[in-house]
Amino acid sequence: MSNILQSDIWARFQESNGHTVIRKSGNGWSYLATVEGGATGRYLYSPYGPVASSAVAFDEALTSLKEEAAKLRCLFVRIEPTESAIWGDQDAAAFLARRGAVWLLARCSRRTRRLLIFRALRTRSSRA
């Protein structure tokens, strides 16, 4: 079972709050993503996603996410994959880095004392 943040209930909740919701799926992968941000720029966010059964399926999901982000003129894609089947025995951070992921934000929650890490994939080349 996937996380509630990848469910139809969450999609309906986000839509009722005025968010644009994108739902896509393919062979071994799926995701729910919302358009976030404001005046400083928009991004496509897939909380606890995409969900994928393998590295190949994950790569297909990333391609789809980046295509959707480009159509919606988003600056980047924020992902939070949690399925260990995606990277298998590999280090998750290294696996994602090889696919163009960069650390967007890392912060420590005072209440949980856990490090929360969010990942993003660039949709456009950086301009200096």
Residues of the chain with pLDDT under 70: 1, 103-128
* SS3 (DSSP) at 116: strand
Task: Give bridge partners of residue 38 from the DSSP assignment.
Answer: 41
**Over the chain, what is the mean pLDDT?**
82
Rg (CA), the chain: 14
**Whole-number Å distance between alpha carbons of 74 and 43:** 5
Q: Which residue from 94, 21, 98 is spatially nearest to 62, judged by alpha carbons?
A: 98
Q: What is the per-residue pLDDT across 61-86, written as a single tens digit (0 to 9) for each? A: 999 999 999 999 998 898 989 888 89
**Whole-number Å distance between alpha carbons of 122 and 125:** 7
pTM score, whole prediction:
0.80
pLDDT for 125 equals: 46
